[in-house]
Amino acid sequence: MNIYAQNILDHYKTPRNFGSISGAQIKHSEANYSCGDKLSVDIKLEADVVSDIKFKGTGCAISQAAMSILTEDVMGKTKKYILNLKFDYLQKLLGVPVSESRYKCAVLGLMTIQNALKMKGNKKN
């Protein structure tokens, strides 16, 4: 098993930033109904910069690990920066090729965070 696959398994088994934030300004959930992956995110912003982010979720190793890796990466980044992230950036973070059948799993976390930021001010569970 290569080091990148080990990284995915590590983030899946021991996700970073897992949990919820009391008093989060933004709460949002998304799901991939074709496979059952679910993610919810809580975000605190200070001057449009992510000061705290936590997530909860269920699903496959790719969806959960991708969200864990993303939460580490977007901490301290601006809303504008995060909204401009694309799949190729996520794939570089993951370090493993993502097959077409796993694309929706991998991108669910990015979509959840971006949609949450687009809805800033709207709390949705």
Q: What is the pLDDT of residues 1-53, one digit of tens each?
A: 565 589 899 999 999 999 999 999 999 999 999 889 999 999 999 999 999 99
More confident residue, 11 or 119: 11
Quick check: is 29 in a domain? yes
Distance CA 98, CA 95 (A): 9
Distance CA 117, CA 94 (A): 22
Q: Which stretch of DSSP H or E encloses residue 32?
A: strand 26-32
Q: What is the mean pLDDT of residues 99-120?
A: 93
| SS3 state of residue 107 | helix
**Which tokens is 27 given?**
């709460």
Q: Answer yes or no: are the C-beta atoms of 117 and 25 closer than 8 Å.
A: no
pLDDT at 30 (0 to 100): 97
pLDDT at 124 (0 to 100): 46
Quote the number of domains for the chain: 1
Quick check: is 125 in a domain? no
Which residue range(s) make up the domain with 27? 3-118
